[in-house]
A and B are shown apart, each in its own frame.
Chain A
Amino acid sequence: MRTRILLYLCGLFPIGTVQAQFGRGGIDWMTAGSDAQRSSWIRNDPKISRESMQKPGFQFLWKVKLNNEPVQLNSLSPAILLDFYIGYRGFRSLAFVGGSSNNVFAIDTDLARIEWQRRLPSAASTHSGTPGCPGGMTANLARPTVSAFPMPGGRGGGRGGPAHSGVGSAGEGAVTIAAVSAIANLPAPPGRGTPPPNPGPRPSYIDAISSDGMFHHMYVSTGLEPTPPVPFLPPDANAQGLIVIDETAYVATDQNCGSSPSGIWALDILTGHVSTWQADAGVAGSSGAAFAPDGTVFAATRKGELVVLEPKTLKVKGSFTSDKEFTSSPVLFEHRGKLLIALATKDGQIQLFDTSDHPALVAKIAGIGDNFAPGALASWVGPDGTRWLLADNRGIAAWKVVGQDGTVALQPGWTSRELFSPLAPAIINGVVFAVSGGSPRSPAVLYAFDGTTGKELWNSGKTVTSFVHGGGVTAIGGQVYLGTYDGHLYAFGFPIEH
């Protein structure tokens, strides 16, 4: 009887999902490269998969014109995503896009409506702007995140399970009485103890650095700032890879633009204290520093230095000096119990470093070609456990991280069709999205490739009518986003009836 009651109740309460909210929320795209390790990898998606992309369905959904003036070649930053938010105006999936003219836009990604927009106050710049030091707002937006590896996540299975019919014995009431009582009387799982008190609802923020170097901490619901902006960088810096971890904002600056030396910067948001580490010859790549799960900061320079910094203080903990010029931001990943970092070099190598102690070069692969400057690498693990590295280089190239018994090696995987001015790729549930960035004379094209084979699954054809410079594609919740030079944000995905 007790077993039968428990089985009945288990049908009513599928374990782990009884309070799950179906169809809402996954792992979001929080910063440049998605997460603190800069992997550009979204592990799960409810709709995008290698299987679904081989069938009709994925398509252009909408585009929204955002009111922003380009600065040099910069226009819109890659969309930072919040897939599930319960706001005062309703449940929302939001994309946050930075505009080079100090604009921040929040877009309802289901309805293609601008939820709010703000022009960040910024003193007029005296900087005339060059391609290397364009001025304007150069850093991506960011949402506070964590340094831990993202959990696989994904959406809950839904409220309750299949419907059941039951009849209680005469005078005994509903069968649910005994079933609920049986659940309530189950012994508590060991080690659970008393749950911590609920801290209560907390605000969600979207962060930006305006061209005058001020750090802005805005409510995701309105764009309003509960506290005044905080000084962070000198004006007109060429800032990249803004990320916020544990109440600290980090960003990289390059090219010594304005009065800003190249380096890594850290702002304690609560105290306003700014720490810096200066990089000789500039910070490599477009995604800034990468972070280990314990918060340790890894940055690469064009002088060939991989430096290890303490979180918050940016004190140097270690470094590796190469004879090669690094050209990408680091991407950090776990492989067979080790934390490895991958970097690209200008002479066409991918180098792997073990971060266990002081960084040590453990593998490399060459022959990619000269002037290899991918900006950012991407990394994911395939369904068979294979670790992949990807880079944009006249197309998308993918390598496997292999090896055993303590050794690590890189093997060529696949190479995509040729892409013109490719941007950093993103991997969504095994599908590699890449962009042929185009030029002022040829518009961009979005592609989808099978992440394990490189087979082209889909492309956007002539849908996109402008080019893309810098940044890349971002995605969550079955939708992929791309901002173009002419100020449009495009969305692609599987349509649903509204």
Chain B
Amino acid sequence: MKTKHIALLSAAALISTTACHKDKTTTDPTPASTPTSAQVIADFCTHVAAPDYTDMYNNAVTFQTAEASFYANPNDNDLNTMRASWKAMRAAYESGEGFLIGPIATQNLDPNIDTWPVEQNELDSILNSSTTLDVNYINNLQPSLKGFHPVEYLIFGTTGAATAASFTVTTTTPTGPRKKEYLHALTANMVDVVTQIKNSYVVGSSNDYATVLNTAGANPTYPTHKAALLDLVGAMSGICEEVGGNASDGKINSVYITQDPTLQESFFSNNSWNDFTDNIAGIKNVYLSTYKGSANGHSMHDLVAAKNLTLDNTIQSKLNAAINSFSTATVPFGQAVVSQRTQVSNIMNAIRDLQDVLDDGVPNNNHDLADFMNQYVTD
């Protein structure tokens, strides 16, 4: 009897000690390795947003330098440089859509540079007119007549086959030189808007948003650090909705359901897959606090892994699955919606799966990144 009691007691003791023993894989590491919410926000600004927008700006400068040379003497080398730097600028812009908060959203910078579709009829009318294309004229144009996509239309052409000769020929309507004038005016405007976007993460600039984020807890925009982090999570989830969502105007779905390649936003440059991949890469950049392989800053990943490693693993798994899904489509997007529909559908599903673990829209069901922020960020 006594042996039995001892065995039972020992078993009970063992059970209670193992039951109460913290699971080392899911609980707090030493406090020093868990960043504060303020650190995560600060490093988002310095490790993600600022370098991303600076990269976009640098490519805009490269574009403008090539355009200035092209303007003086239209040639295919400069045209190719413009195309490459346009795509590089777009890559940085699209990854920036993983954190579309602040002036880019509230000061009309996004509409002024990324409106689609292009107002084709009026663009042709302007090209066919002799109106002076000065800064004031361009500034007063509708967003659909300036920014990335009208520039894209000019440097790639409707079939992607524009050449330098397109800008010198005088026997067409509109003439080549007129297109060159419009491109010149749009370039200046585009660089101006990109500069304003870059400045939103330059401390002390007129539209400095980094300081708004870094003073979260003491300003009316973000009364708490949690509010700032949740705003970022909302942006990350929002771009998933925009790219992978099943609304008829979803970036992928609108082309998928119609099988109409002309419904792509980047149709002229055939750049859609890059756009979508960069969008999702931007989300990963925010989550891991990095940009183009730079050293990671204090990140959302650090916050989540410290308290819920399972969720962190899930988020990273879904991020990688979404990014990797793009490689299953092996033809341009406009063709894939016809000949690789299964792959395109799976890509949208992978993006929606990612959105589900960022913010499933159901509050406090202990499921996603938004729930985590609500539960564990207390300042």
Q: Do A and B come from one complex?
A: no
